[in-house]
Chain A
Amino acid sequence: MIRRQVAIVGIGQTDYAKALPGTAWDLAIEAVTKALADAGIDPADVDGMCRFAPPFEPVSEPMLVRALGIRELSFFAESPLGGEALGAVIAHGAAAIMAGLARVVVVYRALSQSKGGRFGRADRGGPSGPAVADPAADIVVPEEDNRSFAWPYGLMSPGQLFALWARRYAGLYGLSDDDLTQALGSIAITQRRYANANPAAMMRDRKLDWETYRQARMISEPLRLFDLCLENDGACAYVITSADVARSLRDDPVYVLSATQTLSPYREPMGIYVSGELTELFPPATAERLFDEAGVTRADIDVAEFYDATSFMPLRSLESYGFVPDGQAWRYVVDQGTGPDSPLPVNTHGGHLSEAYLHGMNGVLEGVRQLRGTACNQVADAAVALVGAPAGSAVILAR
């Protein structure tokens, strides 16, 4: 069990923008350097690194080790499945520290969608895909992860996949189109309000009202423009170390209580063939493990940062992680909301919809700020935070 044996002692981020001058490498160096400065740790003393596996993360460990003057990494690990690396990278870093394989572990994620491909465009297979040699040639889709059974039908981007989830949810629980619009819009508009108070958010100066939300064009029904995340450049990093080292570095370390990763059959990235209910994105036992190992209950969670490539994901995560019964979150987010005065404030930085898209890493940084008491939309006396991805990779943090 991780429970308070390791802590996050430093966080760092770059500016977030549709296009930044630096490469992903430049951005990663900036975020990691800031995180180490925040922790009061000399880069030379880093001995562990965890990152999102390629093709998602373009900056390799050797690129950073040389650039930062790190003497030697004794542990480095990569976590696959995109946003589902969110909790896994922390689990790996914690395990390495607890096993004595490393003392100071850096976790980073850098994105340059302006220079590489974009998640919302399939032409290059995502931000790290190769440039297309002959745009007129047939595209032969590899079998890997069942893509050859999905792409030929035009199912090529995450937003389309999440539209299938959202539509299934609406069909399963009998929501009208308007019910679903109300629920998704509530999340999108609430997160935009958080972002309007967050100077780091890309949407800090852009208000979003109901009329604008409703009139936005459909991208992949039932998801509208404002139900989908931003596409941007930027990087995030944080530093994990043992609880003892953490306390020697600062008065306000943020402890890791538990971290989960999970994989069960039919969860390939476009894993929609699942023989059970599609909207059950991970086994319920995973959420129980997350809370049991943390030694806290749902009622102890003061703030949640849910991975939101689309607005549907925080909605469903309220159910998957056990805060709201299955099939009721659509009503809950309309009646109770996810704002500052709601029972559980969600995505208090604005999330991927309105702060920036950093593959869940900016949610971890926001969780740390909430527990340090330094967030822009500070939840009063926040002591325990959950940061979770839609398919069960999550972390519970505490001050």
Chain B
Amino acid sequence: MAIVPAFTDLTRPYWENARAGRLVTQRCDACGRSWHPPLPVCPHCHSTDLGWQEVSGSGTVYSYTVVRHATHAALADQIPYVIAIVELAEGPRLVTGITGCAPEEVRVGMPVRVYFRPVADGITLPYFEPV
């Protein structure tokens, strides 16, 4: 059992890029600004001329929590795990997970870098690990 995102017309490009090893954010082709999660319209200029841009995959830990109590049966064997908000170098923030270090070593402000973790058939999630 895995917990996987629904693919919609709006979100499919994000997850298909992740499966191909690219981290992307939605971008307005009219005004050039970028954000996450995706929207049907640019929140700045209301253009519907939207695309996706690959980002560097570098960021810092904006906040995190070490989960030691499973709230769902699907997560029981992952305890403890780290949920983080990562602020990308390009600005937008993502909810993600941190691996590659002990949970106790995660800190707010810690530099991290994206990697791609297959979690189910056809589903790859962007995760982060310390630089």
Contact = CB atoms under 8 A, between A and B. Distances in A.
A275 B36 CA distance: 10
A273 B92 contact: yes
Interface string B43-54: 100000000000
Nearest to B36: A273
B37 A146 contact: yes
Contacts of A219: 67-69
B65 interface: yes
Contacts of B94: 149, 273
Contacts of A140: 4-6
B100 to A, nearest CB: 15
Interface string B71-91: 111110010010101000001
A150 B86 CA distance: 12
A154 B72 contact: yes
Nearest to A157: B71
Interface string A126-141: 0000000001111111
Contacts of A143: 5-6, 8, 10-11
Nearest to B125: A152
A315 to B, nearest CB: 16
A156 interface: yes
A275 B35 CA distance: 9
A221 B65 contact: yes
A218 B104 CA distance: 13
A221 B103 CA distance: 10
Interface string A149-179: 1111111110110011101101110000000
A156 B81 CA distance: 13
Interface residues of B, number: 45
Interface size class of A (residues with CB under 8 A): 35 or more
Contact of A154 (B11, B83, B103, B107): B83
B65 A139 contact: no
A276 B24 CA distance: 21
B37 A160 contact: no
Interface in B107-131: 107-109, 119-120, 123, 125
A220 B6 contact: no
A364 to B, nearest CB: 28
Given A153-B125, A272-B93, A121 B71 contact: yes
A229 to B, nearest CB: 14
A157 B67 CA distance: 11
A181 to B, nearest CB: 15
B95 A138 contact: no
Given A146-B37, A221-B68, A160 B63 contact: no
Nearest to B5: A148
A217 B69 contact: yes
A34 to B, nearest CB: 34
A286 B103 CA distance: 37
A120 interface: yes
B36 A138 contact: no
A160 B71 contact: yes
A249 interface: no
Contact of B6 (A142, A218, A272): A142
Contact of B85 (A146, A221, A272): A272
Q: Give the 3 A-B residue pairs with the shortest CB-CB distance, closest first.
A: A171-B108, A168-B63, A163-B65
27 contacts: A120-B71, A123-B73, A138-B120, A139-B2, A139-B4, A141-B3, A141-B4, A148-B11, A149-B95, A152-B2, A152-B3, A152-B119, A152-B123, A153-B95, A154-B78, A164-B65, A164-B83, A164-B85, A167-B65, A220-B65, A221-B65, A223-B65, A273-B37, A273-B93, A273-B94, A273-B95, A275-B91
Given A142-B6, A152-B5, A167-B108, 20 more contacts: A138-B1, A138-B4, A139-B1, A139-B3, A139-B72, A141-B4, A153-B95, A153-B97, A156-B75, A160-B67, A164-B83, A168-B108, A171-B107, A217-B69, A218-B69, A220-B69, A220-B83, A221-B66, A275-B91, A275-B93
